[in-house]
Amino acid sequence: MSQLALAAVLALAILAASTISVELGISVALIELTLGVFIGNAFDVSVPEWLSFIGSFAGVVLVFLAGAEVDVPQFRREWKASLWIGSASFVAPFFVVMAFAYWGLGWSGEAAQIAGIALSTTSLAVVYAVLVETGLNQTTIGKRIMSATFVTDFGTAAALSILFIEPNVWILAFAGASIGLIVGLPRLAPWFFGRFGNRVIEPEIKLVFAALFVLMWLGDKAESHAVLPAFVLGLALSSHYAAHRLEQERLRVVAFAFLTPFFFLKGGMNVSVGALWANLGILALLFGAKMIPKLAAVYPLARRYCAPHAGFTTLLMSTGLTFGTISSLFGLQAGIIDETQFSLLVSVVVLSAIVPTVIAQRFFQPSAEEEARRDRLTPATPAYEREGA
Amino acid sequence: MPFEKILAAVDGSDASNRAFGKALELARLTGARVTALAVEGPLPAYAATIGEVDEVKREKDAYFGGLLAETRHRAEAAGVELDVDLRPGHPAELISRVAAEVGADLIVLGHRGHFLRDHLLGSTADRVVEHADCPVMIVR
């Protein structure tokens, strides 16, 4: 298939995914991923260089957007509970999956690390959708879960950027540019956006994209990954975007219209249905290796900080999608994992977006009205703090 | 008096508009009070980005805000007392639950909404008939 023919097929797939998403109420990303699997396997096409490049950039943009969507004041209010739950949610599955992949499945050390990172994530967006849909995003428990999700995501971004570093002189430039952008851009933004913003030529989006490309380039030279600085840069700009929603909206439009579809299509096209079919048992074991430590580590903390909805909290913290896909794609692109390992990891990630969400909504969903009532009756200082814990 | 509280499910589809008209007619005849329930429907399931969720939520808020304003206008013109209720969630489940909450003695709704999933997965009306504790009137 020629490059233009493939581009046409992908453009039609992107269009189809959008319309199916609206009609069925399912995330466009999941449909793009599925269509990518279909195109990659039915037409037997490999991912071309241009798609791989756009997809990689889109992954970094997604991470930046995730950082920019963090509600920092809310995190400050809920930091103690969120730090415990979010850290446990990352650390437990990371080590268990890594150990299982290394000793149980015989994967290389680095491949096992990628498995650990990809399967320790929690999906901010999946959690957010469930909370908004039920009105729980306005309650203490909802805010606490969102903040905890941010901590888990931070763990993923940090692990992906730090674990695979092979130190060379470029690491200094990478670290310097990261710090410079993270400190400098939030200070520059009010002036720059005020002077050049609100134009169809969108200098403010170009500024963000330029910063992300610089981070990607230096990260690549330093044998690292731009995920962590991109996430923290988004976080540093989150207050600015909270005050200027229209700017964030434009950035989302550009990202969702052109960039992120290629990221998810690329992810899907790299999945081998044949390899999955031949390894269904391993798929189930990896799913268990993600879910069991997540549930075991988060549940006791959720009982302490999110009672009486520990089950609901634990299940939401077990979801995953975007960061898991980003981690798996990084591993594949860096040659750390092969196509079969990638197919297994992405499938577990997708399963973890669906299975815990369905169970949480079906069997554990709290009533938003009751939670709001409970919030009004609860003293401002939570019990675990009053007890001096 | 046969009916005192009627719950009418509204979603802006032709069938739902006709159903709401019938609910107003019935209310005028019986002096019943009508609650118009609009269910925003689920947000994109298994979303990959918060932006996707936010956008759909904003669209739904704007759409249903307009719909409920129109609903109020129609009830006022018909001289019927009306309460409106807008909730997020799954339509069939919420219609049955809100009917129980407001003590409705009749649910009125259209036979089919305007989403493809109604055609693929069976209509909301079918599921409400299955779960409701009071009579259900389905308008074609």
What the block records as the tokens of A360 is 């949480």
CA-to-CA separations, A245 to A74, A239, B48, in angstroms, rounded: 17, 10, 19
Domain ranges, ordered by start, for chain B? 5-139
Q: Is the ipTM of this complex over 0.85?
A: no
pLDDT mean across residues, chain B: 85
Say if residue B29's pLDDT is above 80.
yes
Question: Which residue range is the domain that position A164 belongs to?
Answer: 3-386
Q: Each residue of B97-111: b (16+ CB within 10 Å) or e?
A: bbbeebebbbbbbbb
SS3 A192: helix
CATH number among 3.40.50.620, 2.60.40.290, 3.50.50.60, 3.90.700.10, domain B5-139 = 3.40.50.620
Chain segment B89-103, per-residue pLDDT in tens: 778 888 888 999 899
Cα separation, A207 vs A334, in Å, equals 27
Residue A201: the pLDDT is 75
What is the pLDDT, as a whole number, of residue A78?
Answer: 79
The pLDDT of B1-23, averaged and rounded, is 88
pLDDT, greater one: B20 or A25: B20
Q: What is the reported pLDDT for B121? A: 47
Q: Which of A383-387, B37-41, B71-75 has the highest mean pLDDT?
A: B71-75
What CATH number did the domain enclosing A267 receive? Answer: 1.20.1530.20
Residues of A with Cβ-Cβ distance to B52 under 8 angstroms: 27-29, 125, 256
Within 10 angstroms of residue A152's Cβ, the number of other Cβ atoms is 30
Q: Is residue B118 over pLDDT 60?
A: no
Å from B115 to nearest chain A CA?
6
Closest by Cβ to A27, choosing from B47, B115, B116: B47
| DSSP secondary structure of A150-172 | HHHHHHHHHHHHHTT----THHH
Q: What is the pLDDT of residue A377?
A: 66
Q: What is the pLDDT of residue B1?
A: 53
pLDDT of residue A382: 47
Given an 8 Å threshold on Cβ–Cβ distance, is A29 in contact with B115? no
Task: Tell me what pLDDT residue B70 has.
Answer: 93
Distance from CA of B121 to the nearest CA of A (A): 10
The answer to whether the beta carbons of residues B52 and A125 sit under 8 Å apart is yes
Asked if A365 contacts A344 with a C-beta cutoff of 8 angstroms, the reply is no
Question: Distance between CA atoms of B136 and B140, rounded to whole angstroms?
Answer: 13
Structure confidence at residue A311 (pLDDT): 92
- State the total domains in chain A: 1
pLDDT at position A386, please?
44
pLDDT in tens, A273-288: 999 999 999 999 999 9
Find the chain A residues whose C-beta atoms sit closer than 8 A to any C-beta of B. Answer: 21, 23-30, 62, 65-66, 69, 123-126, 128-129, 132-135, 248-249, 252, 255-256, 260, 264, 321-322, 325, 353-354, 357
pLDDT of B122 above 60: no
pLDDT in tens, A26-81: 888 899 999 999 999 998 788 899 999 999 999 999 999 989 888 888 888 878 88
Q: What is the pLDDT of residue B35?
A: 94
pLDDT at A44: 78
